[in-house]
Structure 1
């Protein structure tokens, strides 16, 4: 167990605490822990690359931690009516579709390589920025307008683009699967 993997596991353990903070209307705590999670993501990535501590486990845990954090925060903020539910459904559905496609590719014996697309990286930046803005606005009583609408639109567009590009890649990858008789 490497230091980056321990940091990533710590980030996963922060998820229920952040959700508790949101559900308990402790938005300052939720915002602070969200920032800690973001910094820990940067630190574990830096350590893994800089000190050659990258591992297969880390390659699986890091995106899992990121998805667990973002999906949980979006769901919690949606339940609290802090963000539109249609956006929550869009963000969560994208991740479910991607995970489902990966599982189907494994079932058919054609595991798809896990490489994030640039649009997906931009989508993650937009999702993180939007969540941070909403948590900060709720925690510190500042008005997020018009940035909330701009970021919300960006999240929606990039989420749709991201899932579309992944679907095209997956369809090409799976195109050679033969039917079982």
Structure 2
């Protein structure tokens, strides 16, 4: 036992006490849902590789794995309350990367019309540019590069429209059916694929326009909701 129970803590102890509280506020990102989402991110390039190199069975298997884990990670996160901020970012990112790779790879192999690939990718590029724009104009001053990438400062919310949700499901169905076609050559999927391609083209254009004309798609948050976080950061 120390003979100086009331002695002030040493410099190392003092620094450690200051660090520990801040560490305790960090969320645990190493959860099962996040690992499953990360595995989808890793699998996406291999799906494209398999399609480009005519490994159709592997491509279909990896696509099925991505779909199953997409459903599973969300269910696990909700069931055991394992939602994280990182998860809300990388989950849609994994879906979008997979969709982009599938679109490019299938179009390159001639399984998907180039005009449809241009519509799908064009919509995504347009939404990405819009997101950057709305983030900038809605960011409370001072507008700096570091504050732009500080997502603890909310400025605008983009809410998926109803047609956008249907469009995502139809796009995935089209990609899945297109991936199945070479694996089961005995099935004549030419007509269903042709019909689905025009449907997806229509819903893709419609969903892109819905973000422009819908009043509820983009919500600019009032600066009063941001100031408390800024002030809290200043006090730390």
**How far apart are the structure 2 equivalents of 1:153 and 1:118?**
19
Q: Which runs of 5+ in 1 are unaligned?
A: 175-181
The TM-score with structure 2 as length reference comes to 0.70
73, 98, 117: which one aligns with 1:88: 117
Give the alignment's Cα RMSD to 1 decimal. Answer: 1.8
**Deviation digits for residues 75-111 of structure 1, max 9, x if unmatched?**
1000111110010011111111111111111122344
**How far apart are the structure 2 equivalents of 1:118 and 1:108?**
25
**How far apart are the structure 2 equivalents of 1:123 and 1:23?**
25
**How far apart are the structure 1 equivalents of 2:189 and 2:205?**
23
Question: For 1:70, what is the secondary structure of its paired residue?
Answer: helix
- The structure with the largest helix share of the pair is 1
Q: Which runs of 5+ in 2 are unaligned?
A: 1-29, 140-154, 221-236
**How far apart are the structure 1 equivalents of 2:106 and 2:156?**
32
Matched, 1:135 2:179: yes
Equivalent residues of 2:158, 2:219 under 8 A apart: no
> Structure 2 matches for 1:16-55, cutoff 5 A?
16-55=45-84
134, 145, 167: which one aligns with 1:123: 167
**Deviation digits for residues 100-124 of structure 1, max 9, x if unmatched?**
1111111223443132222111111
| 1:32, distance to aligned residue in structure 2 (A) | 1.0
The TM-score with structure 1 as length reference comes to 0.90
Question: Whose RCO is larger (CA < 8 A, sep 6+)?
Answer: 1
**How far apart are the structure 2 equivalents of 1:99 and 1:84?**
23
Equivalent residues of 2:41, 2:98 under 8 A apart: yes
Q: Radius of gyration: which is bigger?
A: 2
**Deviation digits for residues 42-94 of structure 1, max 9, x if unmatched?**
00011111111111111111111000001110110001111100100111111
Matched, 1:167 2:212: yes
Worse-matched range after superposition: 134-143 or 73-82? 134-143
Size of the aligned set, in residue pairs, is 175
